[in-house]
């Protein structure tokens, strides 16, 4: 149970800057997910918090105490690794208790903690086995047990589920969530899987090129992405970004698509602009998620448009249709129970309450 | 369709025939090589079991008429001669017994020390980052290319300064130093394949450099330790040059004694005793291979293949 502050962390490996001025503020009991594509620096950040890497500048504070110069073992953190990193030659029991033994904890206390954790994670029947005799899911549990048994201030997870198969991953995800609800420990969790991030985190920090692009609750990140990168990264399929510009007609703002043949300008009068200077004639991306395109009107801010369907991808519970919008591809996501004809003009409704606009130059939300 | 089937049948018989021919060519070549390798061993064993009389009159490849181990005993503990005080070993006679134990006393500590230091080096070079670690690794790599002959003189001088010349301890030192580059290289290549995350987990658990090595790394190093032990054992046990250069007389290892024995026979060459002695000198390496051979292959390929 602790707070974690990351103040202006910079880190380079040789000439490559991996972390560029990272700031994070995690309150007690928070579940922060670091999300980003591979190579964005999220694991380096986690290792820096753990003390396995040293930052070139900046501070790490746990419970407002500067831990920069402390050994990983003295920071009272626990790290669950992607490869589980169990000690191959030791039994599960030894694996779990190794950390406590290093800390010269009394035998009775170790036994008590071991019993608690093995019951909690349902590994009590595996205690005498070696890691090689465990399945992937069991190894994952043992790795978590090893972290839990020390009752650390902060849990760090480094892509703990990415070595599991799809079904097990969903199961373990739920268990981690339950565990957090039960224990209410502060957690920092690194992943590149947006579903994991959305479902687990109380807040998500999206990273790219060593910079935090947006740090917010999952809902804000999904509804109001801060920039084009976030908009594109979150959601599957990702948000449609239509190139065009903002125009003014009769004192009302409209979005005009590039190479617009049929003057189907989209009204923006209900859009909440972050700032409303110099909007006129600005080149922008008009962002709408595939799931916010409907076949019938279901919102008072609906915008009706006729588009030609070009491609149908059936995925079982849903279908993804590619439409042609003034020679730009846009995707729509619909329930698979509806029959949508191919190569035909179809009446669609854009839910304008759910759109985002980004400046083409800065790629920031406007 | 019919036409096609016919063609396939022809192709099938042709490829079957080809397979059989290739198989026989393969066996023939393998057989020749096997024979080539096994003949000297056969001659050694057969000759060591014959009497001198039989060797002189018979053919090299004939089996012995009667099996007797007299020449083995002679090679081991010397030729007994009649003296006034009964049967005794001739004073000028060279035999292997003492030198065999010399070699054991040299090889056991030399192998143990160089293997454990090599493992420690390999672990430090792969699992810990320190300044100039790459350069140090390159120096180790470079060390494996240094030929024996190049270090003879400096080593002789060093041993002299240390007061270790003509002693078994001196030979242990020489072999540890010379072998360290190889053992380090072997172990480094093995540890590179072991996940760094294990070491990180142990660091977070609160274990230090040596604790991680002894408690976590060493228990999973058996395959590579076997490889280094076999390699070092073979190198050190079979070494002649260092033994001949840095020791003489009573402190010499078995290979030097074997050489002296074969070369310094005053009277007639006793081929049977020479052969027996050569086999005795080779038996320990043979035993090590038989005991640890299966790990040897496994360890050599470890690290090159994942999983």
Confidence of residue A26 (pLDDT cuts 50, 70, 90): very high
Residue range B32-62, pLDDT digits in tens: 999 999 999 999 999 999 888 888 888 888 8
Q: Which chain B residues are Cβ-neighbours of A159 within 8 angstroms?
A: none
Tell me the CATH number at B149.
1.10.3720.10
Confirm whether B31 is domain-assigned: yes
Give the closest residue to A147 by CA, choosing from A211, A213, A85.
A85
Q: For chain A, give the mean pLDDT.
A: 90
pLDDT tier at A305 (50, 70, 90 boundaries)?
A: confident
Residues in chain A closer than 8 A to B206 (CB atoms): 73, 99, 102-103
Q: Is A4-230 in CATH node 3.40.50.300? A: yes
Contact A102 B205 (CB under 8 A): yes
Confidence check: pLDDT of A328 > 80: yes
CB A356, CB A271: distance < 8 Å: no
Separation between Cα atoms, residue A269 and residue A111, nearest integer Å: 65
Which of A169-178, A196-205, B87-96, B163-172 bottoms out in mean pLDDT, i.e. has the lowest? B87-96
CB A221 within 8 A of CB A206: yes
**Tally of helices (H runs) and strands (E runs) in chain A:** 8, 20
3-state secondary structure of A199: helix
This model's pTM is above 0.90: no
Do B63 and B118 lie in a common domain?
no
Contacts of B216 in chain A (CB under 8 A): 87, 89-90
Please determine, for the modelled complex, whether the ipTM score is greater than 0.95: no
For residue B99, pLDDT over 50 is answered with: yes
CA distance B216 to A86: 10
Residue A287 has pLDDT above 90, yes or no: yes
Chain B (175-204) residues lying within 8 Å, Cβ to Cβ, of chain A? 195, 197-198, 200-204
The residue of chain A nearest to residue B129, with distances taken between CA atoms, is A53
Position A34 pLDDT exceeds 70: yes
Determine, yes or no, domain membership for B267: yes
| DSSP class of A87 | -
Q: Say if residue B48 is in the same domain as residue B120.
A: no
Could you tell me if residue A84 is left (phi over 0), alpha (psi between -120 and 50 degrees) or otherwise beta? left
Residue B16: domain span: 2-68
Of B50, B68, B86, the one marking the end of a domain is: B68
Query: B209 and chain A: CB distance < 8 Å anywhere?
Result: no
B81 lies in some domain: no
Binding-face residues of A in 103-122 toward B, CB within 8 A:
103
Within an 8 Å CB–CB cutoff, is residue B219 touching chain A? yes
Least confident interval from A23-37, A48-62, A242-256, B104-118: A242-256
Range B190-211 average pLDDT: 92
Residue B101 and residue B64 in one domain: no
The answer to whether residue B107 is domain-embedded is yes
Instruction: Tell me, yes or no, whether B89 lies in a domain.
Output: no
CA A143 – CA A160 distance, rounded (Å): 9
| Interface contact flag, A87 B198, Cβ < 8 Å | yes
Instruction: Indicate whether B64 and B104 sit together in one domain.
Output: no
Same domain? B39 vs B147: no
Mutation target vs A (from B193, B197, B201; most A CBs, 10 A cutoff): B201
Check CB contact under 8 Å for A81 and B205: no
**Same domain for B267 and B119?**
yes
Neighbours of A292 (CB within 10 A): 19
Whether B198 and A99 lie within 8 Å, measured CB to CB: no
Can you name the CATH fold of A240-359?
OB fold (Dihydrolipoamide Acetyltransferase, E2P) (2.40.50)
Say whether A89 and B206 touch across the interface (CB within 8 A). no
Partner residues linked to A115 by β-bridges = none
Tell me whether residue B77 is in a domain.
Answer: no
Predicted confidence at residue A100, as pLDDT, reads 92
Cβ atoms of residues A139 and A147 within 8 Å = no
Q: Shortest Cα distance from B220 to chain A (angstroms)?
A: 6
Do B61 and B111 belong together in one domain? Answer: no
Q: Do domains A4-230 and A240-359 have the same CATH topology?
A: no
- Condensed to tens digits (0 to 9), the pLDDT of residues B136-181 reads 999 999 999 999 888 899 999 999 999 988 889 999 999 999 999 9
A161/B77 Cα distance (integer angstroms): 67
Pair B154, B32 in one domain: no
Average pLDDT over residues B259-267: 76
pLDDT at B303: 44
Residues B102 and B244 in one domain: yes
Distance from C-alpha of B83 to C-alpha of A83, rounded to nearest angstrom: 75
Domain final residue, candidates B19, B47, B68: B68
Test B204 with A79 for CB contact under 8 angstroms.
yes
* Interface touch B206/A81, C-beta < 8 Å: no
Which DSSP category does A227 fall into?
B
Distance from CA of A85 to the nearest CA of B (A): 4
In a domain, residue B90? The reply is no
Tell me the CA distances in angstroms from B116 to A127, B122, B184, B213, B228, one per residue in order: 31, 10, 9, 11, 9
Residue A24 has, within 13 A of its CA and on its CB side, a CA count of 36
CB contact A54 to B (< 8 Å): no
Mean pLDDT, residues A72-89: 90
Residues B297-304: what's their mean pLDDT? 56
Q: A71 and B197: CB-CB below 8 Å?
A: no
Q: How far apart, in whole angstroms, are the C-alpha atoms of residue B201 and residue A264?
A: 59
Give me the residue spans of the domains in chain A. Answer: 4-230, 240-359
Is pLDDT above 90 for B135? yes
């Amino acid at each position: 149970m602790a707070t974690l502050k990351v103040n202006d962390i910079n880190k380079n490996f040789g000439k490559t800057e991996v972390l560029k001025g990272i700031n994070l503020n995690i309150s007690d009991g928070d579940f922060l997910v670091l999300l980003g594509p591979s190579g964005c620096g999220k694991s380096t950040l986690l290792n820096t918090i753990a003390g396995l890497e040293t930052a070139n500048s900046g501070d790490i504070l746990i419970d407002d105490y500067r831990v920069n110069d402390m050994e990983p073992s003295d920071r009272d953190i626990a790290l669950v690794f992607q490869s589980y990193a169990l000690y191959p030659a030791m039994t599960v029991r030894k694996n779990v208790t190794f950390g406590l033994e290093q800390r010269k904890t009394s035998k009775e206390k170790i036994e008590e903690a071991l019993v608690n954790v093995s019951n909690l994670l349902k590994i009590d029947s595996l205690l005498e086995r070696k890691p090689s005799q465990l399945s992937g899911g069991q190894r994952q549990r043992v790795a978590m047990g090893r972290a839990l048994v020390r009752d650390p201030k902060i849990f760090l997870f480094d892509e703990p589920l990415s070595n599991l198969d799809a079904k097990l991953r969903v199961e373990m995800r739920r268990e981690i969530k339950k565990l957090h609800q039960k224990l209410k420990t502060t957690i920092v969790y690194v992943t590149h899987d947006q579903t994991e991030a959305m479902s687990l985190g109380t807040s998500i920090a999206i990273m790219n090129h060593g910079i935090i692009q947006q740090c917010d609750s999952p809902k804000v990140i999904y509804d109001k992405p801060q920039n084009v990168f976030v908009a594109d990264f979150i959601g599957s399929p990702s948000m449609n970004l239509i190139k065009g510009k903002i125009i003014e007609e009769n004192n009302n703002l409209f979005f005009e698509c590039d190479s617009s043949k049929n003057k189907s300008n989209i009204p923006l009068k209900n859009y909440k602009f972050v700032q409303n200077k110099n909007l006129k004639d600005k080149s922008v991306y008009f962002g709408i998620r595939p799931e916010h395109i409907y076949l019938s009107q279901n919102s008072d801010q609906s915008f009706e448009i006729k588009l030609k369907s070009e491609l149908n991808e059936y995925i079982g519970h849903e279908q993804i249709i590619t439409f042609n919008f003034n020679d730009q591809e846009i995707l729509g996501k619909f329930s698979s129970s509806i029959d949508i004809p191919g190569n035909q003009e179809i009446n669609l409704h854009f839910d304008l309450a759910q759109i985002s606009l980004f400046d083409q130059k800065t790629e920031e939300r406007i | 369709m019919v036409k096609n089937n016919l063609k396939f049948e022809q192709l099938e018989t042709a490829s079957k025939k080809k397979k059989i021919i290739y198989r026989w060519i393969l066996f023939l070549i393998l057989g020749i090589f096997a024979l080539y390798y096994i003949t000297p061993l056969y001659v050694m064993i057969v000759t060591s079991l014959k009497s001198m009389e039989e060797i002189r009159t018979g053919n090299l490849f004939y089996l012995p008429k009667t099996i007797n181990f007299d020449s083995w005993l002679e090679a081991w503990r010397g030729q007994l001669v009649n003296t006034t005080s009964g049967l005794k070993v001739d004073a000028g006679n060279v035999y292997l017994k003492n030198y065999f134990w010399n070699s054991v006393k040299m090889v056991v500590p030399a192998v143990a020390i160089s293997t454990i230091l090599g493992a420690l080096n390999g672990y430090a070079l792969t699992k810990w980052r320190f300044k100039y670690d790459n350069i140090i690794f390159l120096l180790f790599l470079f060390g494996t290319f240094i030929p024996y002959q190049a270090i003879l003189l400096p080593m002789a001088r060093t041993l002299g300064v240390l007061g270790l010349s003509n002693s078994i301890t001196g030979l242990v030192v020489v072999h540890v130093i010379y072998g360290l580059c190889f053992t380090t290289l072997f172990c480094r290549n093995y540890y590179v394949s072991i996940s760094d995350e294990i070491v990180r987990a142990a660091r977070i658990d609160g274990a230090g450099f040596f604790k991680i090595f002894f408690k976590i790394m060493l228990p999973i190093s058996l395959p590579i330790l076997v490889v280094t032990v076999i390699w070092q054992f073979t190198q050190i046990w079979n070494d002649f040059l260092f033994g001949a250069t840095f020791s003489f007389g009573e402190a010499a290892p078995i290979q030097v004694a074997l050489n002296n024995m074969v070369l310094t026979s005053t009277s007639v060459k006793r081929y049977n005793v020479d052969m027996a002695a050569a086999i005795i000198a080779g038996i320990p390496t043979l035993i090590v291979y038989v005991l640890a051979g299966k790990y040897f292959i496994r360890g050599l390929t470890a690290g090159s293949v994942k999983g």
